[in-house]
């Protein structure tokens, strides 16, 4: 977990939670490629999981804002999100080395990360690549 507590100041997460047409469109184009496990970086309040999740064995929501992470936890507890969904407060760089997935998602997030090129390198190291 990061040393300093991050607080997200935007309110659009609650607005975009209701962008159902956009989320359905995005999901139909992304869902077929997700694989068996997902790390969703900048998961916000978990609004994308319900649209993207199919039957993944693991879905890790990585969120630096503790309040938003608590919202995701509450959604899991209330069974609004799948039981295979977990929450990690921090960034992908803060994750334990053992955390791997077949997909790493950044939905409306990467453009907000200052060193996005470095972020992509970190994310690529988290991928479990299929044997060819």
Q: Tell me whether strands 58-63 and 85-89 are parallel, antiparallel or unpaired.
A: parallel
Asked whether residue 26 carries a pLDDT value surpassing 80, the answer given is yes
Per-residue b/e over 108-119, b at no fewer than 16 CB within 10 Å?
ebeeebeeeeeb
- 11-20, 75-84, 107-116, 117-126: least confident range: 11-20
pLDDT, tens digit, for every residue of 33-88?
Answer: 999 999 999 999 999 999 999 989 999 999 999 999 999 999 999 999 999 999 99
pLDDT of res. 101: 96
The pTM of the full predicted model, rounded to 2 decimals, is 0.82
Q: What does the domain layout of the chain look like in residue ranges?
A: 38-124
C-alpha 94/C-alpha 34 separation (Å) is 22
Residues 38-124: name the CATH superfamily.
Vaccinia Virus protein VP39 (3.40.50.150)
Residue with tokens 């299929």: 130
Residue 78 CB partners (closer than 8 Å, separation 6+)? none
């Amino acid at each position: 977990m990061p040393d300093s507590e991050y607080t997200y100041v935007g309110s659009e997460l609650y607005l975009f939670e209701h962008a159902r047409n956009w989320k359905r469109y995005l999901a139909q184009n992304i869902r077929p490629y997700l694989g068996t496990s997902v790390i969703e970086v900048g998961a916000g309040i978990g609004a994308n999981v319900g649209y993207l999740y199919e039957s993944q064995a693991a879905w890790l929501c990585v969120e630096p804002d503790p309040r938003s992470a608590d919202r995701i936890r509450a959604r899991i507890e209330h069974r609004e999100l799948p039981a295979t969904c977990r929450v990690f407060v921090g960034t992908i760089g803060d994750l334990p080395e053992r955390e791997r997935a077949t997909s790493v998602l950044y939905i409306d997030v990467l453009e907000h990360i200052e060193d996005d090129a470095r972020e992509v390198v970190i994310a690529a190291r988290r991928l479990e690549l299929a044997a060819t």
